[in-house]
Amino acid sequence: MKNIAIKVSSIVMVLALTVSCSAVKNANNKQKGAVIGAGSGAAIGGIIGNNVGKGNNTALGAILGAVVGGAAGGYIGNRMDKQAERIEEEIPGAEVTRVGEGINVVFNEDAGVYFDTNKSVVKGTSATTLDKLTGILNEYPDTNILIEGHTDSAGADEYNMTLSKQRAQSVSQYLSDNGIMPYRLTTKWYGEAQPKADNTTNEGKAKNRRVEVVIVANDQLKEEAKTKTE
């Protein structure tokens, strides 16, 4: 388990939130969602989300910004545990991380979704991977999905921003064309601004050319969670 320390104004909140899927099978993982904002709810979650989102991890910011907290958060967390396990089982190459009340899935050139140089068309192995993801997302219709596009640092900033936009939109359109309702999907892109690895190496660049998927509870699931845990 990774510990993430986030400073909001003069308050330092230490959140034991980021949990790899290898730990999802632990009996107490359903409580992960309840860790966030147990006495504060969505207001604190929004502040944290905005704070993180201004840095180099907008995916994490989106997840923490959608937090409910308390017992309802635990209910949502339990649902997300099951969905994360399904993704990990069906798509072994994907980097799946459970964070608070959501899921972050990273696809890079080594993890099932990649594009030809300077292209944004989904095809081949990438299509197969997204077909599997679509099936799982349809098993859990009470979630919203954020698709983020990222590139390495090769090329001009403006070009990379456009390329990341095209690739994120391509993935989002593929999911929509294959059964995911468009209202569940949000697409964003960041070019080379959020590297995960060293852009001076070929291996690092490959990791930075990626699409990230964020899965969070929709309003219906949040209301269900509150009702079930009152």
| Closest listed residue to residue 104, CA positions, set 86, 132, 131, 84 | 84
Per DSSP, the three-state class of 125 is helix
pLDDT digits (tens, 9 = 90+) for 29-85: 444 444 443 433 444 444 444 444 445 789 988 998 899 999 999 999 999 999 999
Q: Which helix (H) or strand (E) holds 186?
A: strand 185-189
Q: Are strands 11-20 and 2-8 parallel, antiparallel or unpaired?
A: antiparallel
What rounded mean pLDDT belongs to the chain?
79
At residue 16 the predicted structure's pLDDT band, cuts being 50, 70 and 90, is: very low
Residue 164 has pLDDT above 90, yes or no: yes
| pLDDT for the residue 30 | 40
Query: Of 99-108, 112-121, 164-173, where does mean pLDDT reach its minimum?
Result: 112-121
Of residues 3 and 139, more confidence is placed in: 139
Q: What is the pLDDT of residue 55?
A: 56
Cβ atoms of residues 189 and 229 within 8 Å: no
Q: What is the 3-state secondary structure (H, E, C) of 75-123?
A: HHHHHHHHHHHHHHHHCCCCEEEEECCEEEEEECCCCCCCCCCCCCCCC
Position 12 pLDDT exceeds 70:
no
Contact 221, 143 (CB under 8 A): yes
Most confident of 29-43, 101-115, 201-215: 201-215
Average pLDDT over residues 158-183: 94
120 pLDDT band (50/70/90 cuts)? confident
Q: What is the mean pLDDT of residues 168-178?
A: 94
Three-class SS of residue 56? coil
Distance between CA atoms of residues 96 and 135, nearest Å: 16
Query: What is the structure's pLDDT at 119?
Result: 77
54 vs 109, higher pLDDT: 109
The pLDDT assigned to 188 comes to 96
* CATH label, 2-229, candidates 3.30.565.10, 3.30.1360.30, 3.40.1010.10, 3.30.1330.60: 3.30.1330.60
Q: How confident is the model at residue 98 (pLDDT cuts 50, 70, 90)?
A: very high
Per-residue pLDDT tens for 134-145?
999 999 999 999
User: Which residue in 102, 105, 98 sits closest to 221, CA to CA?
Assistant: 102
Residue ranges of domains in the chain: 2-229
